[in-house]
Structure 1
Amino acid sequence: MSEKSEKELAEEVLKKYDSDADTMQYTGLMAKFVSALAITFSIFQLYTATFGVLDAQLQRAVHLGFGLALVYLLYPSRKRWSRTKVHPLDVVLAILGAASPAYIVLEYQQLVLRSGTVTTPDLAVGLIGILLVVEATRRVVGIPMVTVVLCFIAYAFAGPYMPGVLAHRGLTLNQLVGHLYFTTEGIFGIPLGVSSTFIFLFILFGAYLESTGLGKFFIDLANSIAGWASGGPAKVAVLSSGLMGTVSGSSVANVVGTGSLTIPMMKKLGYHKNFAGAVEAAASTGGQLMPPVMGAAAFLMAEFVGVPYIDIVKAAVVPALLYFTGVWLGVHFEAKRSNLKGLPREQLPKFGRLFIERGHLALPLVVIVYLLVSGYTPMRAALVAIVLSIVCSALRKSTRMKPIEIVRGLDKGARNVLSVLVACASAGIVIGVVTKTGVGLKLASGLLALSGGLLLPTLFFTMITAIVLGMGVPTTANYVITSTIAAPAIIQMGVPVLAAHMFVFYFGIIADVTPPVALAAFAGAGIAGGNALKTGINASKLAIAAFIIPYMFVLSPVILMVDATIGNVLLATVTAIIGMVALSSALIGYLVDNCRAYERIILIAGGLMMIKPGMLTDIAGFVLFALVLVSQWQRKKAQRSAA
């Protein structure tokens, strides 16, 4: 397959499985106008980040106005419409999308003085604004999220007719529109507030890092480290996707970006196409769990939990390590089982030369961690990192960005933020209905009643909710909904707030590789030419750590650095890693030799015991693991002697 055809296939897969990538392809004057609008959007965000953000509602209104205008110009209403010529209807909707939030900016003083009283013009503008957000959600995010939003809006009106604990007084149209559109508890709530400040800057930072060639550097770096090992290209996929996850918040985009290079390498080495696509899907999905720059939902978590973002980063370190260890082990055992070799060392990049030539591109990531640890706000840290990414690229002629590329970075950053912006705005509608009707506490109470007041059943039902919701709703919106509805139930059972929120965050992400709707796995299958369902099943096996780790940090928050000592963290990490070895070998069917059926059962039992916190379970699990390990060593030795 030629390089050109591989690139075309990657773009086709991205558009098919990532709805926010299927945009208009303008030429001429229209292309320049849309780019100018996107660049202006980025400049506004950079200006307010530098000189101080506006009042909350004003900042969010301008942010939404730019976002809606761009969405309606870039995302056609119907797939069969032209991708090169704008439809008149979209022009009208783009103007309304900019005008409805502008009304808040222009009438801000009067709106404050009226303090919740909704006039007829207010009602008309607010209703138009809400409908525009819902339609933008349909175009960018998809029908499942629209369905969730419309169900909550319907619930707001249907309160008097609802059964049991779900009943409430019901809202009038004036009350609903006023709450959703003219307060900071609806569309202009915390999610959009976070999007309008540091999420935008971090996405812009990621756009510039990609423009510098950092992605190619990560893939070459991973090749130099692991390309020679057993199953080298698959391990390269795990490493490079984990590294790319530090700057990419999209599982599907990550699959396409690195998978277009790593999946053909894996297939050439001998990996089955269903497994090759699964490796990339599992690794890319984990990118949203990888500090320091995680998915947009992580920034929302910092606001919802009420802690500095650096605390979220610290809490995510050990779970991310365990996740990628699990994926790496699955790849390793599959390579050993199938006797797959690595690539010849002479065909791989040299580690030292890579760092000398392009190591400076990673400096902004190091600096952003230092700034966050030093007490800088995420917005200020991202702002410095954006400037530094441009400066660092200029240190060598081969990586230097031209002035036009810097301008294009502003354009790309604004376009990349649209899916997050729309998801945050629509999630704000859900939060607005929840706060106005009080249904959040009622659903949490219902979840507790359903689980009989027991922690593990509560966690299980929450997991199922997050995974099902994640089948059609992006991670950001998924986290907002589950953290509003399900997390309070977990917190009521004595679980630390951070652990409860991290629990729903993890399962919202892992939905990307969980069949029957596993978008990251489907994208991997599209590139590999494999079966989507089988790829999803393989990806779920490789990502088994993500199904277990959330239970670990709820039962033992020490791995989230909650009331932790270095000794406690090290002990929990080491035993969990050994447990991951046991589980991965059981699922793949190979440890040091092919596993027999009873050995798999013993390894699963031992692995789960070591992952579960507690000295007795750790010892018992290790003994079971050691028994299988020694038995296979002896069997392998006997086979070699016989040979």
Structure 2
Amino acid sequence: MTEDTEAKTGREYTEAELQDLVASTDSGGRMPSNRNIAVFISSVAFLWSVFQLWIAQPQLWFGQWIPVMNSSQTRPVHLGFAILLAFLAYPAFKSSPRDRIPVFDWALAIVGSACAFYVFLFSRELALTARSGVPTQTQIIIGSIGIVLLLEASRRALGPALTVVGSLFLLYAYMGQGWLIPDIIEHSGLSFVAIVNAQWLDTTGVFGIPLGVSTAFVFLFVLFGAILDKAGAGNYFIQLAFAGLGALRGGPAKAAVVGSAMTGLISGSSIANVVTTGTFTIPLMKRVGFSSEKAGAVEVASSVNGQIMPPVMGAAAFLMVEFVGISYVEVIKHAFIPAVISYIALVYIVHLEALKRDMPALGPAANLARMFVKIFVGFVVTAIAFTALVYGIKGLRAAAPAIADPLVLAAILVVYVAMVRTSARHPDLALDDPNAKKFHLPTVAEVFPTGLHYLLPILVLVWFLMVEMQSPAKSAFYAVAVMLLIILTQRPLKALFRGEDVGAATRAGGRDLVDGMIAGARNMIGIGVATAAAGIIVATVTKTPIGTELAGLVEVLSGGNLMIMLLLIGVFSLILGMGLPTTANYIVVSSLMASVVVTLGAQEGLIVPLIAAHLFVFYFGIMADVTPPVGLASFAAAAVSGGDPIRTGFTAFFYSMRTVALPFLFIYNPTLILYGVDLGTWPGILHAVFVFFVATIAMLLFAAATQGYFLAPSRKWESAALLLVAFTLFVPGFWLNRIQDPFVERPATELAAAFDEALPGERVRFVVRGPSFTTGQTTETTLVHTVSEEEPETGRADAAGLFLLPEGDKLFMDEPMFGTPYQEKLSGFDFYLDERVEVVSLLTPAHRMPKQVFYIPALLLLGLVVVLQRRRQTKPAF
């Protein structure tokens, strides 16, 4: 290959270069040649994992001897470890030495971690001084150094994006005004002392909620994933995906999608996911006919989608718990259907690519529809078995509460040993060379029994989260505990059952445990400094007008059109997310943009649930990993495939159009995220199943429309018809609203009576108009009050903090009571101008035909497309 050609198409990296790529982005690319220094770095990482397990274990039996640390103490220790390892593991520049640590880096590591540990050691003094508004000069100096070194650690571990954004926010907080700062977000500027106090010495900035989530939840899940992968689960999932899907048309691409989905369950990094699964899947995709760019794009789309897949969601799920104020189970409930249908659609997209190019299967051809039926049957059987397990354990606890838990624990151990014995009867899994002339496609019967015990810790995690309703931290701790048992004992047990050397296997298991603990900590370096640095942005948003006035800026730019507003917010989220890992990405975009979606939606009469707004900006933020010119995952995939990274990125973005469309759909139809659906009742469960079924069909049609192929190559009008059908299935209420008004207007003066007449769980919707607090111009917003069981039978409006002032046939408002939710909801109005804030209408739901009526014309149109394409069809659709 000539140099010019190589420059255009990219270069296929070696295995060593790929591992270095992952290390340099996820765990640090420095590998000191001095054994003592290497051991020191590994020891620090191991101690970090031990510390996190120590503070996470739920039984505080040591409390009478050793003081139990609170969150204001554990967060600085967490960050101290992260900064220390960031300077030791990540070189300052590409030209910096990797085989040794310069003295300057040692100094930065020690000083940076000392600044964090200072907050831990002197937490009591800080509470009496800085956090009471009177920081000392020493504290300001330490805080200033800490902020600068944190930003440098962020630059090394994550690249310049977050460092630049954090620095700009600090500059904005200090200056407040300038020719680059729009008038709408100007402020008088904060003093240097106030900024340092808020960002480093207080608990709202660097040591705020994002770092708290990283300390309490994220580390355990990353550690769980690292140990699970070290035990061999990653290889098992990939092999299982190939065994199940490799015999289909374009099988390697389908296996890449499913394998990346399963890897994404335990991975917090799209880049690591690309390289881990891509080194095996991309060569096989190219083998059956995918170009280098398309093979890389499939892997990118699959791996990045792993970040939206519960239960981890790139650690964003735990941040949503804190930012949205709902339980972790609720977050998983809302995120599940969009993530699953997105993956199903991606499988269908690569299937259509295989059909268009008549790609062969790796083995004897199988049928995709039959495969979906098998998966569905397996899902139903698993659900029935899990339900039986739930009721069985509940019955045991009711019958014999004293011995129920020990019996369950003994049963788990027996089942584990039986699973390992089953695994020992089969040879250990090993990935074949994907470039070999002859490739052996494994069968499910060969692969499935070899890793059954890897499902046990996942079952424990799901059990404690969904059944026991424990906190994510406690659930993750028990899952990690089970994983530690597995990684220590699986090798010795296999050796025992196979008649091999048990002592050597035990030592190997111990090494696996240590390596897994070290890998988990090193994978957390970037997340640790990212959540801390993102705290700078969160604090700036709360201390300056940018958090409340950004909605006004977007409204001005969009001209008041809601769809344009959403498009702008999506683009802003995409730009803000460029170059950031998933965790920091979500913190930044949600801090700035989530409330904007809710506010602007309300001004247009659309009530957007807060979780829908957070998922909206999260989906667009992670698309930055795909989209050129940054597109880190696309560059990683191009390094594996040898394709052009920019073309790979654009192709991956095209494959990810379904992920781009989904946020708009659940803004307009929150039922798609099961908002308002009660899964605790059978009607609620049936409703959820119906939503999932319809959404899946709609997403498959959307995929077919964007690919230009359904049963046969589609004509333009057929693709347009499929898009119309998909939209109607997703948002049938859109057409109903064109025909019948969703609400009936009642006099505003009936608002207080409507509050009192509503039953618990019912909603009261009303429209408020008045002068904007920032511009003084008249603005309007729609509010919804959900009546709760705790509210009094009468006087509910007063109890909610609303001051209603009826005057004739009009209803005015005074400023809501301080500390109530309505104080924040109505903070955009100025209650002290001559123009008064007024409730202009009370909206009650109108009696209308069911919106599902519009499924009928949609399905008729779909039938027409099917009939016409059947005449041109030359190969089976599945």
Matched, 1:30 2:37: yes
Amino acid at match of 1:11: Q
Contact map agreement 1:326 1:544 (CA 8 A) in 2: no
Contact map agreement 1:247 1:294 (CA 8 A) in 2: no
Name the counterpart of 2:716: 597
Q: What is the Cα deviation at residue 113 of structure 1?
A: 1.5
Name the counterpart of 1:290: 309
Runs of 4+ displaced beyond 4 Å: 160-163, 398-401
Amino acid at match of 1:368: L
CA distance in 2, matches of 1:518, 1:625: 36
CA distance in 1, matches of 2:286, 2:688: 38
Moved more, 573-582 or 419-428: 573-582
CA distance in 1, matches of 2:302, 2:720: 26
Matched, 1:358 2:595: no
Name the counterpart of 1:537: 650
Contact map agreement 2:342 2:659 (CA 8 A) in 1: yes
Q: Secondary structure at the match of 1:270?
A: coil
Task: Tell me: CA distance 1:163–1:510, structure 2 relative to 1, closer, same or farther (3 Å).
Answer: closer
Name the counterpart of 2:472: 378
- Superposed, which structure 2 residues align to 1:96-111 within 5 Å? 96-111=111-126
Q: What is the Cα deviation at residue 448 of structure 1?
A: 3.3
Matched, 1:119 2:144: no
Matched, 1:270 2:270: no
Name the counterpart of 1:581: 700
Matched, 1:472 2:480: no
CA deviation string 1:193-248 (max 9, x = no partner): 11111101111111100111101100111111111011111110011000000000
CA deviation string 1:499-535 (max 9, x = no partner): 1111111111122122333221222122111122221
Amino acid at match of 2:335: A
Name the counterpart of 1:624: 861
Contact map agreement 1:65 1:99 (CA 8 A) in 2: yes
Q: What is the Cα deviation at residue 71 of structure 1?
A: 0.6
Matched, 1:136 2:137: no
Name the counterpart of 2:190: 171
CA distance in 1, matches of 2:726, 2:630: 28
Q: What is the Cα deviation at residue 22 of structure 1?
A: 3.0
CA distance in 1, matches of 2:861, 2:632: 37
Amino acid at match of 2:494: K
Decide which structure has the larger Cα Rg and report it: 2
Matched, 1:95 2:110: yes
CA distance in 1, matches of 2:69, 2:111: 22
Matched, 1:67 2:70: no
Name the counterpart of 1:516: 629
Amino acid at match of 1:242: A
Name the counterpart of 1:40: 47
Task: Tell me: CA distance 1:397–1:613, structure 2 relative to 1, closer, same or farther (3 Å).
Answer: farther
Name the counterpart of 1:562: 675
Matched, 1:497 2:595: no
Task: Tell me: CA distance 1:576–1:620, structure 2 relative to 1, closer, same or farther (3 Å).
Answer: farther
- Superposed, which structure 2 residues align to 1:174-573 within 5 Å? 174-344=193-363, 347-373=440-466, 374-393=468-487, 394-395=489-490, 396-397=493-494, 402-492=509-599, 493=602, 494-564=607-677, 565-573=684-692
Amino acid at match of 2:698: G
Q: What is the Cα deviation at residue 116 of structure 1?
A: 2.4
Amino acid at match of 1:133: L
Contact map agreement 1:194 1:299 (CA 8 A) in 2: yes
CA distance in 2, matches of 1:380, 1:316: 21
Q: What is the Cα deviation at residue 454 of structure 1?
A: 4.4
Q: Secondary structure at the match of 1:419?
A: helix
Amino acid at match of 1:478: N
Higher strand share: 2
CA deviation string 1:148-194 (max 9, x = no partner): 11111111111154552222121111111011111111000000011
CA distance in 1, matches of 2:569, 2:856: 30
How many pairs were matched up? 635
Amino acid at match of 1:576: A
Matched, 1:636 2:873: yes
CA distance in 1, matches of 2:705, 2:690: 23
CA distance in 2, matches of 1:188, 1:314: 29
Amino acid at match of 2:479: A
Contact map agreement 2:27 2:522 (CA 8 A) in 1: no
Contact map agreement 1:71 1:136 (CA 8 A) in 2: yes
Q: Secondary structure at the match of 2:134?
A: coil
Task: Tell me: CA distance 1:39–1:83, structure 2 relative to 1, closer, same or farther (3 Å).
Answer: same
Higher RCO structure (Cα 8 Å, ≥6 apart): 1
Task: Tell me: CA distance 1:23–1:301, structure 2 relative to 1, closer, same or farther (3 Å).
Answer: farther
Amino acid at match of 1:175: A
Amino acid at match of 1:468: I
Structure 1 residues without counterparts, runs of 5 or longer: none
Moved more, 407-416 or 158-167: 158-167
Q: Secondary structure at the match of 2:51?
A: helix
Q: What is the Cα deviation at residue 13 of structure 1?
A: 4.5
Amino acid at match of 1:581: L
